Amino acid sequence: MARRVLVAVGMQFVRKLSALNMALVDVQRAWVEPLELSGMRAHHHDVIHHVCLASSYDHPLLTREAYLSLLGLGDCLHLADESGLDPVVSTNAWRCIDALLDEIEPSVSRADIALRHARGETLEETLARIFKDGQ
């Protein structure tokens, strides 16, 4: 099922991944914190690896790993934002991450989706808030 979702979008999906790559190059150029930047690069490569695998093979675990790697990249971007990253560069990177998360989200569990939307709440509170209608 995961592959059908990701492969169905074809070139649109590839364009979103390409846009993310370009946005992260801009982040790496604009962010000067060397230790955190190395973490950002590691997450960037991890995202490419997992997203490419998930788009090539029909396995829910690979899709989940792609989703979680994008969330991890988002955590790194939060650090960059807190370190004073240029807001234009940051906003572009966030749009690209969100676009890929939106593509993958139909293939992951509600608990994984809740991780994306958590705001310092428990998992149960987040699930209740984002799935109010009992979906």
pLDDT per position as a tens digit, 58-105: 788 999 999 999 998 988 888 888 888 889 999 999 999 999 999 899
In the chain, domain spans = 2-130
Span 2-130 CATH architecture: Up-down Bundle (1.20)
Residue where the block lists tokens 């060397």 = 34
Length of the chain: 135
Q: What is the DSSP string of 102-121?
A: HHHGGGS-HHHHHHHH-SS-
Q: Are 96 and 14 a contacting pair, CB within 8 Å?
A: no
Give this prediction's pTM: 0.79
Does residue 2 have a pLDDT over 50? no
Q: Which amino acid is at 11?
A: M
